[in-house]
Amino acid sequence: MESAELEKLVAQIGEEILARVNPALAPVRGEGLNIPDLVCPGCVQRCVQTCAGKAREIVAAGADRISASERLTRADPAIASLIDHTILKPEATSGEVRKICAEARKYRFASVCVNPYWVPLVAAELAGTDVKVCTVVGFPLGASSTEAKVAETNAACRVGATEIDMVINVGALRSGDHDAVKMDIHAVAEAAHRGGAILKVIIETALLDDNQKAIACTLAKLAGADFVKTSTGFSRHGATVHDVELMRRVVGPGMGVKASGGVRTLADLKAMAAAGATRIGASASVKIVEAAAGQADDGH
């Protein structure tokens, strides 16, 4: 049997079986995919390769595996673009960091945030993409010298970092030494901007009262930072809606606010964004964007 004849026979058998199992899924000849009367209202996807609804129908008919393009799992760009995909645990391996980078490329997260040692690897993995390379400075305590923080910033920018998340000197702030805190931030901001990076200032809200949080945000703004950020994720607790709302009120609309620490679900992210956060630090990023895609598929 000629190859063309064999392919035709296989196609006919497949169509006949599909029609018997579920007539609604039987192919309609003549127009291919996206036939108007088979397209869900408002849908612009190609069925069934990329439509989650059609995929569920196929599974219900008896399939236990579906071959599909990467577009089957879609990420809402409005959600993904808020997220710094983060891996800051000290025991992280090169394989885990590469996995985070692959996920960031796939879902188009805002950045990948890692400890300074991994910046060259992340910069190489993300080359040619829009995903930013983010690292931390003075992390997680903030109690290192300004000179050390500046040196960390310079080194990170040289090897590819485009975003710097620094921890303020929390003890100095709590001691009332506001000039020292401001100068610390200013020195790092200058180094970051000179290196082509933006600066996010972690104020570690879990260790401050509301007055101290407001002072920290004001000092960060005066010192030339681009963002204020709630938490390292290594202290007593992470971001809260209350803290994000307070920080947004203090810095106004022209400065970024990053909620970080404990943001594990889509509901968490939406609550932080509603409170005024323009960036989210999370390690559960994939779970969040897939939940958002699931809600979109269900029409929510």
pLDDT in tens, the chain (300 residues): 565 666 566 556 555 555 555 555 444 443 333 334 444 544 444 443 344 555 455 445 554 443 333 333 456 788 899 999 999 999 999 999 999 999 999 999 999 999 999 999 999 999 999 999 999 999 999 999 999 999 999 999 999 999 999 999 999 999 999 999 999 999 999 999 999 999 999 999 999 999 999 999 999 999 999 999 999 999 999 999 999 999 999 999 999 999 999 999 999 999 999 999 999 999 989 999 988 887 766 655
Q: CA–CA separation, 58 vs 263, rounded Å?
A: 34
Q: Sign of the C-alpha dihedral, residues 146, 148, 150, 156?
A: negative
Q: CA–CA separation, 220 vs 174, rounded Å?
A: 15
- 9, part of any domain: yes
Token pair belonging to 126? 């993300």
Catalytic residues: 165, 229, 258
- Same-domain pairing of 57 and 87: no
The whole domain housing 203 covers 77-291
- Same-domain pairing of 25 and 126: no
Residues near 160 by beta carbon (within 8 Å), at least 6 away in sequence: 119, 120, 122, 123, 124, 133
Residues near 268 by beta carbon (within 8 Å), at least 6 away in sequence: 262, 288
- Same-domain pairing of 126 and 18: no
- Answer with the one of 41, 72, 103 that is the final residue of a domain: 72
- Answer with the one of 55, 72, 89 that is the final residue of a domain: 72
Q: Give the CATH number, domain containing residue 264.
A: 3.20.20.70
Number of structural domains in the chain: 2
- Same-domain pairing of 244 and 273: yes
> pLDDT at position 289, please?
92
> pLDDT at position 24, please?
53
- Residue located via tokens 């108007």: 36
> pLDDT at position 257, please?
98
- Answer with the one of 49, 72, 95 that is the final residue of a domain: 72
- 299, part of any domain: no
Q: Which residues pair with 111 in a beta bridge?
A: 84, 132
- Same-domain pairing of 169 and 229: yes
- 298, part of any domain: no
List of long-range contacts for 182-186, beta carbons under 8 Å, 24+ apart? 182/219, 182/222, 182/223, 183/146, 183/223, 184/146, 184/149, 185/219, 185/220, 185/223, 185/224, 185/225, 186/223, 186/224
- Same-domain pairing of 85 and 202: yes
- Residue located via tokens 């869900």: 40
- Same-domain pairing of 68 and 124: no
Nearest to 215 by CA among 247, 244, 254: 247
- Same-domain pairing of 199 and 87: yes
- Same-domain pairing of 169 and 249: yes
> pLDDT at position 49, please?
38
Q: Which residues pair with 220 in a beta bridge?
A: none
- Same-domain pairing of 100 and 215: yes
pTM more than 0.85 = no
Q: CA–CA separation, 249 vs 73, rounded Å?
A: 36
Q: Are 200 and 167 in contact (CB under 8 A)?
A: no
> pLDDT at position 77, please?
84
Q: CA–CA separation, 231 vs 149, rounded Å?
A: 17
- 174, part of any domain: yes
